[in-house]
């Protein structure tokens, strides 16, 4: 039984001027202990909404459907109140804009101690000491606990946020674009820290990002999202070398590589509007392999190999040959 | 007497929401019914002030009935402490109050807007100098200064307008300045500068159209304050000569209308001032909110996200497929 | 190091502003041509000796700048602001007494206003666009829009039978009252009810709107989402995170408005003839008692400067980021 | 303090004289002194955002300036564009010294150098339709004679940035365009003046991956057929590797390595460049290099380390590195395609 299981998660938003945005259209995945899962996609594909839904951090205009299980216990269907005891104790989160994620008028140490005392994992001096150890663990001197967030650099603030996330020894750490606002060298430090946490603490980490190479280097498995749905999910090696969804392949082709000399090609068109019902495959208008069936019915997420799923008609039996021709993977 | 500036959080960068044609001010009036209500109220009183006097049943200063006569057929709003018909006074008085309100707000807009744009755009020493000067003006309680100037210079309509205008411009200046300062840093302004565009061109082409809606919003709110200050001045006997809603209140107070039970002598002017101020506030606030989508989605509120049972999902999906 | 700079700068700014206020005060009353004030000592029924001492004290026969220096000297060193035309009593002592009365009433009124304003603003932000929000926001706008004197007159009209509507106490003159201190306190208290309520009704509207917008702003900040992610209950998040940050703008605006209230209280004091600085200003205007007017104007300006300075200090203490 | 004047950074190729030549550029900003320090007459401190940078660009060539935030790459571009005052050094555009040119003489020069900014959402005035945004540069410089003529030039510019059919876009407001389309309009607005030099400050970093390639390829075409020189500022080494002819790596206000893109990527010389390249994630999971992660972050430029400014974080620093402030020295190649690095360990290969 996996540590974190998400089954057929849907999220709708009521739009201010009427209408409903179907931001997450039924995604399913699982995360094991100590595993690093990437959730990758471009802006507006629903990856951040999905992540927030796992912890029930949605606005009142949202409506969710589906199941989120941690160690087999369902935490989503009970709504905000039932979810609250699981927050930070089972599942914690690090946000992108670290600048404002920490309360500017309270010391960093007090913000780390706060969840400990509330959830009862530690109190008083013990909590303070624990906070100091956590800061040390993420590479910040324990003495920094009494300082304020604005005295920290970008990298240090993100480390402090990670220390805060570990306050109640969570089983799963969700990270929403943790390094997007950081320089490549500081990004490497933070990612190295996250990877070491999965080894040392057996912590499961879910990394949401738009940066494909980041996922292939840091994560073991990844879910590629497009228009609120799972386009493809597989171990990162398969994703690059044997992509079974044109979007994954084209996304790799659009990403410049340091030493790769393949030509960088952009993907024409734009993702579909999510406040309108979907007809056919969402990627049909931008895909270089579209055929009649794609414009009519929406492909289901199908197992194409062990731990490898893709939602594309090309994977159906009669089109298997055509798919192989296309598979050159990113290296084409 | 309200002299503190309204809840417009000074210093917020007001990005004028791109207009779908027509200036945002018009767009706001179409979209927000509170703004429309405000426009209707103010419009009504302006209409009354313009055509009213010609329709007034009696003269506003010659007594035309018994003292404190209750509202009746031929004195719709009764008579005041000296027997003058309240309705006629309201019509003539309205004209004065509104003239003072609009004229003083105009003065405040021109002076405040000018200094705000100058300080915001030029930055550096000019900015600091002008803003320091504004600080001093803001600190001085304007009612007392008005009294002193009105006393020393003697009451007259233009004096009152000038005094109120010159003391209300500081709020406009501060808000306009922070908006202009943030626009000046925008990329499209820097790009125009790097193209070698002249300062005049940048201000006229980029800065003014962007700051105009905000200037209108602040000016509308200043009208409310100007009418307030006029009524306060009148209450202290240093208001405008002649009739205004403020002087009506003052007369009612002098002749203890409240203890005489003659509510009709002071309620109409009081309510009229209140309504006009509310009208201006609704309009100004609506425009400012439209310009300033700073109120982000609250992460916290009493209502929470909802969970949908599987049943409704299936028939919903069925509907989608069919739709 | 930096934070000390901030305090010093604010002190310097406050002192300069006071100096500017005194100068404007002097200019307005002295140097303006054709103003009857030019002869300070021409108090209508002042005795010749009094006239002489005043001329000497304020150098009224000296050139302007000399007068200015003397004026400063008298004001700061001797705290002498000349003599009231009305009763030849030194302005300073009279104003001191009246200021006490004003501050008493203003304190109570503002306290009501702040409490009502913060509670309604806080709740309407939390229950945004709920019934409570609409009701309290609209009431706030209505009372915010009604002229102060009108609210006062309405209260007299409605409650004249139940509460005293004029003056500060029943006894004609406190010296012979003989009544126990408790009864005089009760009496003043009753007299203070209507003026304080009027002031409260005038001011609470603005506080509600300011608190509401400050709270809405902080409720949208990322750290509130972080606090919610930590599993903290709403009450605790609102108090220890949202309110704590919302206090910054609230404190500033409340302190700023305090400065203006002292001036604002003038209308309330006139309606209820409350013997405070406002009433003094009203009479000084009516009788063209310029020394009293000048003194009152100075006291009011200094109160504004004082409360602004308090606002700066509070902001400085509450916000660790201030390093100027 | 700044390095001795190095040999001319790159021999000028036969034929095209350099389009842009910058020698020992220094840009300094005063540091805000607290009131107390001002009272105590402490000398005003300065921050050298750009501390002796020399570079050149030939027509039709794209030079990428790469570095972490705070390394001075944007200040360099601002100085070249004369939007920021140059403390000292020389900027020559088309052979003419424009470093301290007066405003009047500078105006015609401004036509020949344009800048594309990072934020597509802010680079266009929200109240201008596309037509007016693209037309504005022409109006400022009085080009294009009649309205009809300017309209033709606008359409032509929009077609050139692949916003075709142009009349589909010309009447739209910026908020009715996607990020990529807005960036193309901004580029079109720069092209109408037929500039010789285009400065692009992080042109694609705020765009989605699928759209980025489109803008970068567009810039590539523009420089090839328009023989326009492009200086691209970016923090993304992979983008630089793919699209630039030459790369200059900056650290704390100095160029620490410079050469053709192929050389710098294939055979980096400076330890900082090597470390940067080792941490750039690659697309293929199998190409996992051992990342050389430098500890700490770029130090504050106010108090620079002695000697080589990189030595405190340098993995191969020696004792002498804390004394010597190395200048750019030739590491590979002879005249023309020269590869330089500012490190004592570098010896001509």
Nearest residue to D57 (alpha-carbon basis) of D200, D204, D266, D184: D200
Q: Measured between beta carbons, which residues in chain C are less than 8 angstroms from residue B3? A: 260, 263-264
- Give me the residues paired with residue D93 across strands: D20, D96
- Looking up tokens 């994977």 gives A315
| CA A310 centroid distance within chain | 18
A89 touches chain C (CB under 8 A): yes
C-contacting residues of D 7-36, CB under 8 Å?
34-36
Mean pLDDT estimate for chain B: 81
Whole-number pLDDT of residue C42: 52
User: Is the pLDDT reported for residue C38 higher than 50?
Assistant: no
Whole-number pLDDT of residue A321: 59
- Chain C residue with the nearest C-alpha to that of B135: C17
User: Is the pLDDT reported for residue D250 higher than 90?
Assistant: yes
| Chains contacting B (3+ CB pairs below 8 angstroms) | A, C, D
- In sign, the C-alpha dihedral spanning A165, A170, A175, A178 is positive
User: Is the pLDDT reported for residue D11 higher than 60?
Assistant: no
pLDDT in tens, C43-70: 566 667 777 777 777 666 677 777 778 7
Whole-number pLDDT of residue D17: 67
User: Is the pLDDT reported for residue D16 higher than 60?
Assistant: no
Percentage of residues of chain D with pLDDT beyond 70: 92
Using alpha carbons, list the distances in angstroms from residue D140 to C168, D116, D136, D193: 70, 18, 6, 10
* CB atoms C324 and D34 under 8 Å: yes
Whole-number pLDDT of residue B23: 65
User: Is the pLDDT reported for residue C77 higher than 80?
Assistant: no
> What is the spatial distance between Cα D329 and Cα D326, in angstroms, rounded to a whole number?
8
CB neighbour list of residue D221: distance below 8 Å, 6 or more residues apart = none
How buried is C238 (Cβ within 10 angstroms: 0-12 exposed, 13-18 middle, 19+ buried)?
buried
* CB atoms B249 and C24 under 8 Å: no
Q: Give the 3-state secondary structure of residue C186.
A: helix
Mean pLDDT check: name the lowest of A9-23, C164-178, D54-68.
C164-178
pLDDT band, residue D9 (cuts 50/70/90): very low
pLDDT band, residue D66 (cuts 50/70/90): very high
Task: Note the ipTM here.
Answer: 0.85
Whole-number pLDDT of residue A216: 94
B-contacting residues of A 264-293, CB under 8 Å?
277-278
Q: Are B123 and B181 in contact (CB under 8 A)?
A: yes
pLDDT in tens, D117-135: 999 888 898 889 999 999 9
Whole-number pLDDT of residue C39: 47
**Residues recorded for chain D:** 349
Q: Are B275 and B45 in contact (CB under 8 A)?
A: yes
User: Which of D34, D37, D38, D42 to probe the C interface (max C CBs under 10 A)?
Assistant: D34
> What is the spatial distance between Cα C205 and Cα C114, in angstroms, rounded to a whole number?
10
Mean pLDDT estimate for chain A: 90
- Chain C residue with the nearest C-alpha to that of A151: C321
User: Which of D112, D127, D188 to probe the B interface (max B CBs under 10 A)?
Assistant: D127
Mean pLDDT estimate for chain C: 81
Mean pLDDT check: name the lowest of A14-18, B198-202, C85-89.
C85-89
Mean pLDDT check: name the lowest of A310-314, C61-65, D45-49.
C61-65
Give chain A's domains with CATH numbers: 33-56+86-222 (3.40.50.300), 234-330 (no CATH)
Cα-based angle B233, B238, B243 (whole degrees, multiple of 5): 80
Whole-number pLDDT of residue B295: 53
For strand D20-30 and strand D46-57, is the pairing parallel, antiparallel, or unpaired? antiparallel
Average pLDDT of the residues in C251-256: 80
Tokens encoding A167: 């306050």
* CB atoms D297 and A154 under 8 Å: yes
pTM recorded for the entire structure: 0.85
Average pLDDT of the residues in D312-324: 90
Tokens encoding A332: 């084409």
Using CB atoms, pick whichever of A87, A105, A150 lies closest to residue C229: A87
pLDDT in tens, B248-306: 999 999 888 888 888 888 999 999 999 999 999 998 888 887 776 655 577 887 788 99
Whole-number pLDDT of residue C73: 80
* CB atoms A59 and B299 under 8 Å: yes
* CB atoms D36 and C9 under 8 Å: no
Whole-number pLDDT of residue D229: 93
> What is the spatial distance between Cα D209 and Cα D62, in angstroms, rounded to a whole number?
21
Whole-number pLDDT of residue D200: 94
Whole-number pLDDT of residue B317: 62
Tokens encoding A239: 């994703």
Helix %, strand %, coil % of chain A (to 5): 40, 25, 40
How many H helices and E strands in chain C? Answer: 12, 0
* CB atoms B323 and A277 under 8 Å: yes
Whole-number pLDDT of residue D127: 86
Average pLDDT of the residues in C58-85: 75
pLDDT in tens, A138-160: 999 999 999 999 999 888 999 99
Percentage of residues of chain C with pLDDT beyond 90: 14
Give the residue, B19 or C131, on which the prediction is more confident. C131
**Residues recorded for chain C:** 324
- State which of A191-205, B70-84, C286-300, C303-317 shows the largest mean pLDDT: A191-205
How buried is A81 (Cβ within 10 angstroms: 0-12 exposed, 13-18 middle, 19+ buried)?
exposed
Give chain D's domains with CATH numbers: 20-112+195-341 (3.40.50.300)
Within 10 angstroms of residue D333's Cβ, the number of other Cβ atoms is 15
pLDDT in tens, D90-111: 999 988 899 988 888 898 888 8
User: Is the pLDDT reported for residue A255 higher than 90?
Assistant: yes
Percentage of residues of chain B with pLDDT beyond 90: 26
Whole-number pLDDT of residue B103: 94
| Chains contacting D (3+ CB pairs below 8 angstroms) | A, B, C
C-contacting residues of B 111-150, CB under 8 Å?
135-136, 139-145, 147-149
Q: Are D250 and D72 in contact (CB under 8 A)?
A: yes
- Give me the residues paired with residue A207 across strands: A38, A175
Using CB atoms, pick whichever of B151, B231, B278 lies closest to residue C288: B151
Q: Measured between beta carbons, which residues in chain D are less than 8 angstroms from residue A217? A: 281-282, 285, 288
Using alpha carbons, list the distances in angstroms from residue A27 to A64, A209, A272, C226, C253: 12, 17, 17, 24, 48
Residue B265: phi, psi to the nearest 5?
-80, -25
pLDDT band, residue C178 (cuts 50/70/90): low
* CB atoms A266 and D295 under 8 Å: no
**Which residue intervals of chain D are DSSP H helices?**
35-39, 73-80, 103-112, 130-141, 147-160, 179-191, 209-226, 237-243, 261-266, 271-279
> What is the spatial distance between Cα B228 and Cα A204, in angstroms, rounded to a whole number?
63
Percentage of residues of chain A with pLDDT beyond 70: 95
> What is the spatial distance between Cα A152 and Cα A105, in angstroms, rounded to a whole number?
13
* CB atoms B196 and D123 under 8 Å: no
* CB atoms C232 and A104 under 8 Å: no
pLDDT band, residue C146 (cuts 50/70/90): very high
């Amino acid at each position: 039984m996996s540590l974190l299981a998400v089954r057929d998660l849907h999220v709708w938003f009521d739009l201010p001027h009427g209408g409903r945005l179907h931001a997450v259209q039924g995604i399913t995945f699982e995360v094991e202990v100590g595993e690093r899962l990437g959730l990758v996609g471009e802006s507006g594909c629903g990856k951040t909404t999905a992540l927030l839904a796992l912890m029930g951090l949605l606005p009142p205009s949202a409506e969710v459907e589906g199941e989120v299980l941690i160690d087999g216990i369902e935490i989503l269907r009970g709504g905000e109140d039932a979810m609250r005891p699981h927050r930070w104790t089972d599942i914690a989160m690090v946000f992108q804009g670290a600048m404002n994620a920490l309360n500017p008028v309270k010391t960093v140490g007090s913000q780390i101690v706060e969840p400990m005392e509330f959830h009862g994992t530690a109190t008083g001096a013990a909590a303070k000491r624990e906070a100091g150890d956590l800061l040390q663990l993420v590479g910040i001197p324990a003495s920094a606990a009494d300082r304020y967030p604005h005295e920290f650099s970008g990298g240090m603030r993100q480390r402090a946020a990670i220390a805060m996330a570990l306050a109640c020894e969570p089983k799963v750490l969700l990270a929403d674009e943790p390094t997007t606002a950081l320089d490549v060298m500081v990004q490497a430090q933070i990612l190295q820290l996250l990877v070491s946490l999965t080894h040392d603490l057996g912590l499961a980490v879910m990394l949401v990002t738009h940066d494909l190479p980041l996922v292939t280097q840091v994560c073991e498995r990844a879910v590629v999202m497009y228009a609120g749905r799972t386009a493809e999910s597989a171990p990162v090696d398969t994703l690059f070398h044997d992509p079974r969804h044109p979007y994954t392949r084209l996304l790799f082709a659009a990403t410049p590589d340091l030493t790769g000399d393949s030509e960088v090609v952009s993907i024409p068109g734009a993702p579909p509007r999510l406040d309108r019902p979907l007809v056919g495959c969402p990627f049909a208008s931008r895909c270089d392999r579209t055929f009649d069936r794609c414009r009519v019915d929406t492909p289901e997420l199908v197992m194409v190999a062990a731990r490898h799923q893709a939602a594309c008609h090309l994977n159906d039996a009669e089109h298997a040959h055509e798919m192989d021709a296309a598979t050159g993977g990113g290296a084409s | 007497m309200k002299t503190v500036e309204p809840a417009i959080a000074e210093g917020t960068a007001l990005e004028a929401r791109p207009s779908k044609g027509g200036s945002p001010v018009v767009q706001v009036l179409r979209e927000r019914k509170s703004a429309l209500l405000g426009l209707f109220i103010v419009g009504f009183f302006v209409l009354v002030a313009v055509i009213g006097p010609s329709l007034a049943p009696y003269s506003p200063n010659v007594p035309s009935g018994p003292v404190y006569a209750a509202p009746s057929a031929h004195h719709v709003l009764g008579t005041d402490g000296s027997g003058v018909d309240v309705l006629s006074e309201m019509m003539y008085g309205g004209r004065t109050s509104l003239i003072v309100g609009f004229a003083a707000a105009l003065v405040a807009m021109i002076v405040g807007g000018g200094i705000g744009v100058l300080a915001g755009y030029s930055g550096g020493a000019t900015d600091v100098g002008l803003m320091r000067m504004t600080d001093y003006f803001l600190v001085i309680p304007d009612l007392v200064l008005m009294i002193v100037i009105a006393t020393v210079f003697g009451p007259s309509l233009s004096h009152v307008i000038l005094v109120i205008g010159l003391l209300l411009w500081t709020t406009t200046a501060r808000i306009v300045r922070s908006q202009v300062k943030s626009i000046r840093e925008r990329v499209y302004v820097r790009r125009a500068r790097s193209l070698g565009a002249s300062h005049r061109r940048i201000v006229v082409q980029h800065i003014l159209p962007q700051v105009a809606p905000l200037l209108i919003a602040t000016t509308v709110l200043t009208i409310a304050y100007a009418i307030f200050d006029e009524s306060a001045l009148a209450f202290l006997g240093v208001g405008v000569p002649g009739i205004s809603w403020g002087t009506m209140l003052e007369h009612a107070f002098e002749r203890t209308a409240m203890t005489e039970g003659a509510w009709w002598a002071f309620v109409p002017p009081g309510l009229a001032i209140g309504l006009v101020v509310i009208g201006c506030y609704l309009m100004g606030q609506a425009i400012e909110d439209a310009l300033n989508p700073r109120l982000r989605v609250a992460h916290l509120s009493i209502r929470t996200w909802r969970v949908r049972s599987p049943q409704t999902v299936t028939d919903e999906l069925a509907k989608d497929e069919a739709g | 190091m930096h934070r000390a700079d901030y305090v010093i700068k604010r002190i310097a700014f406050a002192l300069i502003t006071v100096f500017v206020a005194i100068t404007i005060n002097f200019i307005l009353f002295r140097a303006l041509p054709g103003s009857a004030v030019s002869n300070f000592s021409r108090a209508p029924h002042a005795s010749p000796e009094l006239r002489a001492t005043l001329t000497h004290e304020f150098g009224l026969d000296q050139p302007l700048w000399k007068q200015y220096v003397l004026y400063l000297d008298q004001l700061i060193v001797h705290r002498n602001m000349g003599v009231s035309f009305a009763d030849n009593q030194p302005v300073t002592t009279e104003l001191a007494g009246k200021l006490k009365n004003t501050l008493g009433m203003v304190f109570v009124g503002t306290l009501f206003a702040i409490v009502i304003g913060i509670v309604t603003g806080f709740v309407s932000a939390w229950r945004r666009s709920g019934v409570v929000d609409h009701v309290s926001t609209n009431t706030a706008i209505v009372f915010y829009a009604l002229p102060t004197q009108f609210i006062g007159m309405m209260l007299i009209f409605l409650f004249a039978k139940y509460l005293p509507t004029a003056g500060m106490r029943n006894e004609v003159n406190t010296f012979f009252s003989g009544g126990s201190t408790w009864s005089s306190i009760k009496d003043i208290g009753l007299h203070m009810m209507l003026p304080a309520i009027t002031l409260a009704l005038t001011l609470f509207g603005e506080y509600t709107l300011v608190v509401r917008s400050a709270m809405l702003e902080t409720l949208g900040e990322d750290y509130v989402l972080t606090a919610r992610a930590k599993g903290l209950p709403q009450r605790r998040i609102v108090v220890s995170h949202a309110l704590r940050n919302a206090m910054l703008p609230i404190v500033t605006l409340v302190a700023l408005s305090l400065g203006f209230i002292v001036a604002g209280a003038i209308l309330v004091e006139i309606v209820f003839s409350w013997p405070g600085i406002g009433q003094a200003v009203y009479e000084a205007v009516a009788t063209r008692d310029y020394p009293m007017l000048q003194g009152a104007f100075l006291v009011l300006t200094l109160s504004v400067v004082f409360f602004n300075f308090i606002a700066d200090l509070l902001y400085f203490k509450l916000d660790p980021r201030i390093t100027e | 303090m700044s390095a001795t004047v190095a040999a001319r950074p790159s021999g000028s190729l036969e034929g095209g004289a350099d389009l842009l030549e910058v020698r020992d550029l220094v840009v300094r900003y005063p540091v805000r002194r607290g009131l107390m320090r001002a009272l105590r007459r402490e000398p005003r401190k300065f921050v050298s955002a750009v501390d002796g940078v020399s570079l050149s660009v030939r027509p039709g060539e794209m030079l990428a300036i790469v570095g972490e935030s705070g390394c001075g790459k944007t200040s360099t571009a601002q100085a070249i564009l004369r939007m920021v005052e140059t403390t000292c050094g020389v900027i020559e555009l088309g052979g003419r010294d424009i470093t301290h040119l007066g405003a009047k003489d500078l105006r015609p020069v401004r036509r020949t150098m344009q800048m594309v900014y990072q934020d597509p959402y802010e680079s266009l005035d929200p109240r201008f339709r596309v037509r007016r945004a693209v037309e504005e540069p022409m109006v400022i410089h009085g080009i294009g004679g009649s309205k009809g003529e300017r309209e033709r030039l606008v359409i032509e510019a929009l077609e050139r940035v692949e916003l075709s059919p142009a009349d589909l876009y010309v009447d739209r407001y910026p908020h009715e365009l996607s990020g990529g389309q807005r960036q193309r309009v901004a580029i079109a607005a720069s092209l109408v003046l037929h500039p010789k030099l285009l400065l692009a400050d992080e042109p694609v970093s705020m765009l989605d991956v699928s759209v980025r390639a489109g803008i970068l390829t567009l810039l590539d075409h523009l420089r090839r057929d328009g023989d326009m020189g492009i200086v691209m500022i970016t923090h993304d080494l992979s983008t630089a590797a793919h699209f630039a002819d030459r790369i200059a790596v900056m650290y704390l206000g100095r160029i620490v390595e410079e050469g053709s893109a192929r050389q710098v990527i294939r055979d980096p010389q400076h330890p900082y460049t090597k470390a940067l390249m080792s941490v750039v994630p690659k697309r293929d999971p199998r190409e996992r290099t051992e990342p050389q992660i430098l500890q700490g972050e770029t130090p504050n430029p106010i108090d620079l380390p002695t000697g080589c400014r990189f030595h405190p974080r340098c993995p191969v620093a020696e004792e002498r590195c804390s004394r010597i402030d190395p200048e750019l020295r030739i590491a590979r190649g002879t005249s023309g395609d020269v590869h330089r690095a500012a490190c004592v360990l570098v010896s001509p290969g």
